[in-house]
Structure 1
Amino acid sequence: MKHIIFIICLLFVPTFAKAQDLETLIQEALTQSPEIQKFDFQYQIASEKVNEVNSLPNTEFNFGVMAIAPEMDMPMEKFNASVMQMLPWFGTISAREHYATSMADAQYVEVTIAKRKLALSVSQFYYLLYEIRAKQEVLDENITLLETYERLALNSLEVGKASAVDVLRLQIRQNELKQEIDVLIQQNKGIQAAMNSLINREYNKDVSVASVLEIPEDDSFYGYDALSLNPELLKYDKLYESVEQSELLNQKESGPMIGFGVQYINQEDSPMITSSFKDMVMPMVSVSIPIFNNKYKSQTKQNDLRKKEIQSQKDERLNVLKAELSKAISQRNQARIKFNTQANNLKQAEDAEEILIKNYETGTINFNDVLDIQELQLKFQMGQIETTKLYYVQTALINYLTN
């Protein structure tokens, strides 16, 4: 189980600074989540059923005593006792064990799916927190930049090269950015509480995330064939196997049952009995034959239909997973394209900012242009953060689908 948790952690943790934070959060969620514990208990119950079916039918004991004896010259029975044990047909118990084991294997896949889904959810919340906090940092930097521009505007106002309106517009813009920071703070509280809920700990506990995420140069993708290893599809293979084991069990249970036993009869003393043995011991053999076996024929037909149903469900789920994988790959590629475009635009906006600063040094500056460039820079910076988050969220989904 620890090995599986470690593998799941690796699936959703990219190689970046402070990656250990996400790995630790995933591992903590996998070990503390009530949902995972629920699935684990269900698996233990299914495993215990193997011991349940590995048993014989109840041994039957009978005891009878003569309550009122009629007056007869012949010897009368005082009491009798018997024991009978029915035995299923050869191989039936083994078939039951195999069927119970196959059901436990199918339940174990459910545990694996639940763990992977939980790890994916934790990863998605993690990248949302990264986006929120990265945006907060960018907004702080832009407020600092606007404060610098405000001081320039005040200096220009003193020498008559700027108006009070320019100063007020810069101050209004700062207020707007401060408002966005306050909104992000509230969003951070909500996402952090949701993540802590997944991990099953105090809702207000601080969650640390990486300060920097970079989009790698190459994307890892192993092709659509990797979907065949997804536990959501392996689950149907296990269910198909359990139906096959159910049919083998059905064939065994359609056979006869054989019982062995013995009956003891105790008789009263009588002058008619000349032998030294007055009691009787009678070995017994019993056979139970399912003459009317429509039940088993119907079960066979149901199993055949069930296998076709499972195969159809698997094909349907495979199509859904392929669609989800295609969408995730497309969105990840879109994120890379948008990030590169935003990086180029940001570079050009920074060049325009340098030109404005040089103009100020020569005594001319247009603060309307300053605000326009600042808004463009902020737009591109925010866009880079959003596309980086989108890239890693889609990468986590691709890893979930193909690993």
Structure 2
Amino acid sequence: MDDSEPEFPIPTRKELEIIKNYFNVESEFIAATDTFTTPHDILFRNLAVSIIAKLSRSDDPDSFIPYLAMNYFDRFLSQHKLNLEDVEGRTETERVRLIAVSCLTISSKMRTNSFSVDRFLENLYRDMNVRITPPMVMRMELLILQELQWAMRSVTAFCFLNHYYPYFKKFCGFKRRSINEIIVQAQGEHTFAHYMPSHIAISAFLAAAQTKYPSKYSEIAEDIKSKIGLQGQVKECVKKMVDLCNRLNIQIESTEPGTRSTTSKVAAVPQEEIKEAGTSKENEDEEWTGLIKQVQDMRKGKARVQVLVQAEELPDDEVTVASGNEVMVADTSDKKDVEETSLPKGKGKAVDVDDDKARVEDIIQRALVKEPRMERSISEIAEVVVPKKLMNFELKWPTDVPSLEGDEIQYARPRQSFGCIIS
């Protein structure tokens, strides 16, 4: 008799090999331990959580998108050493906002083929009265992708759930949606940012067990400890997750017959009239022209920009695959087939800019799909274990985090030539 759960299938031999690889590389997909340790740095993260939570409200939520966006945010600031000097914006609040928005657009592209940045930014202006242009987002996306070395299919706690579930099956059962919610809601708090994804996964199961089956918990914990061991970090993480479940009233749904739990309805986003944008079409066209040049510069010479060149479909003899995820690109600066694209002035400019805009977007979109071998293997299980129907719960991340500078600076008169424009 097959004792697997439909929502927690027993891993195949191939999947077990992939999971083993997850354990070897998971530390590369979290924030460094020295990140988010000071009150100011924590406020950075809390502000990003607040922005992403506000922008993720929907009648048809997919909580994996904001979860993945925060994974990108944590890794970017960790790699970037919390240095925001090369990020557009007049204030720290504006810079953090641009990073958070761009992390969310990347995660949306990873999850949704039909995602539109332009439509997203229109909604941003409507809901938050914030003006960020598509070229600004594109430049920020490129910076994030470069900093993370194009490793965008993150190893997350979801990659380990099928591996750990069998240890709990003989004691109790869980609906995967409940475990997913614990993991996602924990992502909204900085105290979970430094735990390994595998620790988050096993802790979510243990926290669910303690919350749902308190009389069985001692027996469950002892059995788990005897089989796989429980490090001090896991015990600490479990305590925090039990507190999280209680504070946020996360309902743990059981697979046992007759056991049900209630879920909260997601508040609808108010439908307000979209105001007139604050940047002229001509200025935006010039921004796109500069961005096209930036992408062209990135294509020349030797680079560690992995998938950008793959997406451009250079001949095979110009691409050398190195160890790990790295792709080294041969020097193409003298190749005749690398053309400089200049936009003709005058009447046809808008059409040409739109064409190049679509081309740059296509480069990024295809690059997120055509990743190196290891990245594709990481996605093989992740795509299966996080279906949207099991992520359609209300995001309970805080949305009332104040700006980093205070109202008197945050709402100062904007300079439209640089940074996020606050109307």
TM-score, length basis structure 1? 0.26
**Higher strand residue share:** 1
**Higher helix residue share:** 1
Bigger Cα Rg: 1
Highest relative contact order (Cα 8 Å, sep 6+), 1 or 2? 2
TM-score, length basis structure 2? 0.25
